[in-house]
Amino acid sequence: MSTQTRRKFLKGSALAATATAGTLAAPAIVRAAPTVLKMQAAWGGGIFLQNAQSYVDRVNAMAGDALQLELLPVNSVVKTSQMQDAVHRGVLDAAHYVPAYWYSKSPVASLFGTGPCFGWSSQEVLGWIYYGGGQELFDEMMERLGLDLVSFFNSPMPAQPLGWFKEHITDASQMEGLKYRTVGLAADVLLEMGMSVVQLPGGEIQPAMKSGLIDAAEFNNPTSDRDFGMQDVSKHYHLASFHQSQEFFECTFNKAKYDSLSDEQKAILKHASEAENSNFYWHNTRSYATDLIKLQEEHGVNVYRTPDSVLSKQLEAWDVVVARMSEQDPFFAKVIDSQKAYAKEVMNYLNLNQPDYKLAYNHYFG
């Protein structure tokens, strides 16, 4: 071996040894296990479970390795009626449902989604929550009830159909005495209209109508109704109603668990909710429209618009229910006053500014 070659060999060996030593000395990078929050949904399947999964996916995509939500379907840990208490106690970290499902704790809960219609839609009610003082009133209600929860609201639902009946409803008088399924404050409203109301979970509606336990029912939308098989027990489907003309989801978290998160993780939970707000409307509106056509063309369902006589009676019944509950509960009245103030101002602008979209629709489609 020449002197020059020997020098190159020794130099290379030294560099290799240095690299090996450096590799051995480098500390191993240990990644902390992600914080995993278990969120139970009130939905066993269908489009609402898809919506819950969409929110979870948005959180997980933004949070990466630091925070992950795990979605559990209905009744995985507790029954739907027990979900709020389970989150409060820390049995569950979170829940995905609607405020009407814990209406029995306080009638005020129903005002956050299924309250009276002051000429507004779900979008404007969410605007009231975020920019009209609604969130602060909700937090005050949580404090009054002694519930350690933090909630975010999203997914503005279209007005819910009046629902499925054994005959075509052409006048409000036909509804008197009917056994009808709904939830929340809507139950009080329809009782005021002379109906007999049964509150049932979604999966029990179709069997109850098939067996004759109820005469008529609503759940939420054409897609869910078709999934439940409502077209097999009725061929008379009525759209448009004031009994639940606005509603949205509540994503609720155990407060102690939420407070333990970093500011960035808290922001992700909130902003993922806001992002899902838009996705829900785009995704679900298309699905509802498509499934309504399938109900008509594939299943022979007769679709009607609820007559004005029924809508007027609903508004009159709302007036009675709201006045009664406001007299019984000053906090209920406080929330109603806040909603009215927001709706009067915002809907004044929207009603003046929005053109008649139905006029344009009929111009092109008849």
pLDDT tens column, 176-203: 999 999 888 899 999 999 999 988 877 8
Same-domain status, 315 and 212: yes
Residues 67 and 138 in one domain: yes
Residue 2 forms part of a structural domain:
no
Given a cut of 60, is residue 22 above it in pLDDT? no
Provide the pLDDT for residue 20: 45
Mean pLDDT of 262-283: 96
Mean pLDDT, rounded, of the chain: 91
Report the range of poorest mean pLDDT among 27-31, 173-177, 273-277, 319-323: 27-31
Considering the domain boundaries, does residue 107 fall inside one? yes
Question: Residue 236 — φ and ψ, nearest 5°?
Answer: -120, 105
pLDDT at 258: 98
The last residue of a domain, from among 261, 286, 311: 286
Domain of 314 in residue numbering reads as 163-245+299-353
Q: Which of 1-15, 62-76, 223-237 has the lowest mean pLDDT?
A: 1-15
Indicate if the pLDDT at residue 16 is higher than 90: no
- 236 with 304: CB under 8 angstroms? yes
**145 and 87 part of one domain:** yes
Using the predicted structure, report yes or no on whether residue 27 has a pLDDT greater than 60: no
Which residue type sits at 112? F
Token digits of residue 241: 């109603």
Amino acid 19: pLDDT? 44
Between CA 256 and CA 366 the distance in angstroms is 56
Backbone angles phi, psi at 162, to 5 degrees: -60, -30
Mean pLDDT of 287-297: 98
pLDDT score of 33:
77
**Phi then psi dihedrals of residue 31, to 5 deg:** -90, 135
Whether residue 231 is predicted with pLDDT greater than 80 in this model: the reply is yes
- The alpha-helical segments, DSSP class H, found in 193-243 are 205-211, 222-228
CATH code at 303?
A: 3.40.190.10
> Is 259 found in the same domain as 118?
yes
Do 136 and 95 lie in one domain? The reply is yes
194 and 102 in one domain? no
Quote the pLDDT of residue 113.
85
Has residue 5 got a pLDDT over 50? no
Of the candidates 256, 286, 316, which is a domain's last residue? 286
- Looking at residue 201, its pLDDT comes to 78
The set of residues, in sequence order, having a beta carbon less than 8 Å from that of 247 and lying 6+ positions away, is 98, 100, 113, 114, 122, 157, 160, 220
**What per-residue confidence (pLDDT) applies to 10?**
42
Residue 293 resides in a domain: no
Number of domains in the chain: 2
Same domain, 196 and 92: no
pLDDT of residue 204: 87
The verdict on residue 237 lying in a domain is yes
Is 12's pLDDT higher than 90? Answer: no
One domain, residues 186 and 328: yes
Whether 194 is covered by a domain: the verdict is yes
Once rounded to an integer, what is the mean pLDDT over residues 285-301?
Answer: 98
**Residue 148 and residue 175 in one domain:** no
Q: Are residues 112 and 194 in the same domain?
A: no
Of 53, 56, 50, 55, nearest to 36 by C-alpha is: 56
Task: Specify the pLDDT at position 103.
Answer: 85
Please report how the helices 46-63 and 263-297 are oriented relative to each other, as an axis angle in degrees rounded to 10: 150
pLDDT tens figures, 83-138: 999 999 999 999 999 998 898 899 999 999 889 999 999 999 999 999 999 999 99
* Statement to judge: residues 50 and 92 lie in one domain: yes
- What letter represents residue 46's amino acid? G
Give the per-residue pLDDT at 203. Answer: 81
What is the Cα–Cα distance from 223 to 49, expressed in whole angstroms?
12
CA neighbor of 107 nearest in space, from 41, 189, 179, 177: 189
Query: How crowded is residue 254: how many other Cβ atoms within 10 Å of its Cβ?
Result: 22
Instruction: Indicate which CATH number applies to the domain containing 128.
Output: 3.40.190.170
CB-CB contact of 125 with 248 (8 Å): yes
In a domain, residue 259? The reply is: yes
pLDDT band at 326 (very low <50, low <70, confident <90, very high): very high
Residue 32, pLDDT score: 67
**What is d(CA 218, CA 200) in angstroms, rounded to the nearest whole number?**
10
Identify the pLDDT of residue 24. 47
pLDDT at 183: 83
Question: 46: left (phi > 0), else alpha (psi -120 to 50), else beta?
Answer: left
Alpha-carbon Rg for the chain, nearest whole angstrom, is: 27
Select, from the ranges 27-31, 44-48, 277-281, 291-295, the one with the highest average predicted confidence (pLDDT). Answer: 291-295
Residue 359 lies in a domain: no
* Out of 15-19, 38-42, 135-139, 204-208, least confident range: 15-19
136 shares its domain with 276: yes
Given 255, 286, 317, the domain boundary residue is 286
- Mean pLDDT, residues 297-311: 97
Are 339 and 114 a contacting pair, CB within 8 Å?
no
Could you tell me which residues are beta bridge partners of residue 152? 251
Residue 97 within any structural domain of the chain: yes
